[in-house]
Structure 1
């Protein structure tokens, strides 16, 4: 199994802890966390993750601004992004594609199947 690195950006500490535990323990992936979109952008300069899990609703910089900055930088533009949000139902596949997002995962999510959901969305072997 390939050790993947995921950047998780979510302002809720309990969500960050749960997702990190699930992805590390069940999938063997490395998880870098950020409590805000601004912090997530800084993490991108230190790490080049294989994918980003991004909460939609956060204080400060919103997810749309984060995506614009991510996609405007040639060194980060190709990193796949998945939303992890209570508002996943807002997004049609067409809207996700327009924003450059692979998929939207609803909160609450099943912790046991989260890594598989991510792997399937990203077409990673599980």
Structure 2
């Protein structure tokens, strides 16, 4: 399990802006604030390929609800849920962004805590 998230400066700033505009629950806000405090910021080209970020196809296993699902995380303006494209600032993306394959995250979703495992991360060109 990573002891900090690794994000690009652009993603870091976008999450900070989301927090400032109160777009998340209080539990998520506390968790994200703490994660940003300890986050490692890198350039996009220096970001490891197994880390969840924008324009990546990510397979997650939800241990709480016992299912596995593939998500494509895209910029907010490109979100199309019918095509399985989720904004990098969506609830599920905020829970896992900056983590890497093999990490298991306990996340305080609005509907309750869930345990999410990152099974696979791949580059995605859409």
Quick check: TM above 0.5? no
| Greater percentage in helix | 1
TM-score interval, normalised by the smaller of the two chains: 0.3 to 0.5
**Structure having greater relative contact order (Cα 8 Å, sep ≥ 6):** 2
| Greater percentage in strand | 2
Output the TM-score relative to the length of structure 1: 0.34
